Structure 1
Amino acid sequence: MGISLDDVHQIVGIPVMGRGMSKPAIIKQEDVVKLVHRALHLNPKVIEAELGTHDGRSVRLSWLKDNLAKKTSSMPTHSIECVVQGYLLYLLSCTIFPNKTGTYVSVEYLQYLDDLDKVKEFAWGAATLVHLYHGLGMASRAKCKSISGYLTLLQIDFNPYLSTRDSYPLQEYSFFKGCLVANRISEPYLPDRYLRQLGHVQSIPREPIQPDGKTKRPRLASSYRVTYGSNVTQME
């Protein structure tokens, strides 16, 4: 069995098609501080100090809660939007994008939350699957002792493809074959390897997508990196 885009849509209820989540990495520390300040309207020095407690790209969930929980609905609209962005960042870390620390969240997700009216336009479901696939790949390393990702997708036995298939129409995107890309992570998506699960006749799958020469799969998960050539069909 495999986890399909249709599974993500039906189980989680978030869009798997939409705007791509592939914005470039934020390199300079000052730009990271500006991103958090623009989104949450907190003191830049406070933000810089918090970023320094980990990897310079993440903040503690407890820090988010302490700095935003005391704000009320009587504040100006812009301030309320800042609280909403902070809450959504917190929610993402606790649900579809958890990491192995369990206490930190990458502030780069704020790039997709800066316009609350457009948050629903992004392909959150596809990004969820990419994050989970990547977490499974890292967990396969010999010295890795934990796993990250939205593990609910691994725990639920979901099979609407038999008697109730007419109530759950299978969308065309479920049969896409190529690489799913999100947050600069690329993971192969190969539904032809579990067609029977999708209610179709299982044929012999095509050859799997091979990573390029830059791929690293060492025993340590921290150095794990899998990339694919530009000639591979991608869904961003």
Structure 2
Amino acid sequence: MTILLHDVQYLLQIPVEGRLMSRTSEQLDHPEVGLCALLGMNSEQLSGRSEVPGFGSKGKWYDKGGFLADMASRYLQVNGTHVTEAQSYLLLMLGSTLFVDKSRDRVRPVVNLFLDELEEIDQYSWASGTLAWLYRCLGQASRAGARGVAGCLTLLQCWIYEYFPGFRPSHFEPPVVGPDEAWASRWIGQPATGSVADPSVRLAFYRRALDSLTPADVFWTPFHQRPHLEVRRSLYTGVIRFADIGEFYDPARCLRQFGYRQMIPPPPSRPQRADRPEAPGGYVIRIPESFDAAWDALLSHMDQMFMFDYLCLDRMFDYLCLTTYVWIGCLTTYV
């Protein structure tokens, strides 16, 4: 299982259809240029210390990110143009919702590359960009040396609630949402499940709960029995991107989330380069730009029909034993 494109559209009500959120290597070489123009400062000022209270010990151009507080300050300036105000507001919103950094107070400057032309903003597939960034953040968080996770965690948490009812907030029946409402709004104001304070005990509890899940404990199609009929591009197979981030998207590995019987999927695509060390800082996945053409190719969409049920092939468990970890926790802790 994984988060798919139709999940993003249903949960956040942001579009899947649109242009792939890719940029050329030339555009990505100096993303700070657009940030300088937006904030009305030169590169020397950008690399200086922030004047915003609480951020004096760090430079504004720190770890390749601009401070969200600076965006808000720029947006509130009376003498700003309407275009600058709109770009600052959008950068502030996107940096604090869809493309969240682990720092929680900065936004990656590449976000601004998609705000240069305000009239083109609605032409991008924001859902695929959000999902590509979350995929990358989850990959980094899986490293042994990782200490946190970035990305749109609202999407991740609400996806868990929808697909795994056993992990939902207790004693709460989520309301029914309207056709144009984000499903994530069903969980507004609800505390996270669990009250155990000790992180190690809580971690062991969730590992044990995940390992004990059965197919009956999963709500495979929470939004629509055939979600690809409403969000057709969710059957796309290929690369999704967010600026310099590229991740493979393969619905053939998650057929039960479309209401189909799970078949043994084809071998996964291989990137041009893949470095996944224990330290998340060295995590690198590179996929050639030539892969992007599949986004607009009709043949890249999986149109073949499968059997309609939520089962797996009898050989599926043997396949999983050979290709992945069947258990999350240590078996000796469950005895």
- The TM-score normalised by the length of structure 2 is 0.60
Q: Which of structures 1 and 2 has the bigger CA Rg?
A: 2
* Cα offsets for 1:27-55 (capped at 9, x unmatched): 34xx733x234434x23354453695444
Q: How does 1:37-186 map to 2 (within 5 A)?
A: 37-40=36-39, 42-44=40-42, 46-49=45-48, 52-55=59-62, 57-71=64-78, 79-156=81-158, 157=162, 161=221, 164-165=224-225, 169-186=229-246
The alignment of Structure 1 onto Structure 2 pairs a total of residues equal to 226
Q: 1:216 to 1:39 in 2, by over 3 A?
A: same
* Cα offsets for 1:91-113 (capped at 9, x unmatched): 11111100111111122211211
Between the aligned residues of both structures, percent identity stands at 28
Question: 1:230: Cα distance to partner?
Answer: 6.7
Q: For the residues of structure 2 that align with 1:182 and 1:149, how far apart are their CA atoms? A: 12
Preserved contact between residue 39 and residue 114 of structure 1 (Cα < 8 Å): no
Q: 1:217 to 1:67 in 2, by over 3 A?
A: same
Q: 1:188 to 1:21 in 2, by over 3 A?
A: same
Q: 1:209 to 1:146 in 2, by over 3 A?
A: same
- Point out where structure 2 has 5 or more consecutive residues left out of the alignment: 51-58, 164-218, 297-335
- Point out where structure 1 has 5 or more consecutive residues left out of the alignment: none
Partner of residue 32, structure 1? 32
Question: 1:166: Cα distance to partner?
Answer: 7.4
Q: Which amino acid aligns with 1:116?
A: L
Q: Say which SS state the counterpart of residue 136 (structure 1) adopts.
A: helix
Q: For the residues of structure 1 that align with 2:70 and 2:233, how far apart are their CA atoms? A: 39
Comparing 122-131 with 11-20, greater Cα deviation is found at 11-20
Comparing 135-144 with 193-202, greater Cα deviation is found at 193-202
Q: 1:229 to 1:175 in 2, by over 3 A?
A: same
Q: Say which SS state the counterpart of residue 241 (structure 2) adopts.
A: strand
Q: For the residues of structure 1 that align with 2:45 and 2:264, how far apart are their CA atoms? A: 57
* Cα offsets for 1:156-190 (capped at 9, x unmatched): 21568479547984333111122212212111111
Q: For the residues of structure 1 that align with 2:223 and 2:295, how far apart are their CA atoms? A: 31
Partner of residue 249, structure 2? 189
Q: Say which SS state the counterpart of residue 2 (structure 2) adopts.
A: coil
Higher relative contact order structure (alpha carbons within 8 Å, sequence separation ≥ 6): 1
Q: 1:7 to 1:50 in 2, by over 3 A?
A: farther
Q: After the TM superposition, list the runs of 4 or more consecutive aligned residues in structure 1 that deviate by more than 6 angstroms.
A: none
Q: Which amino acid aligns with 1:198?
A: F
- The TM-score normalised by the length of structure 1 is 0.83
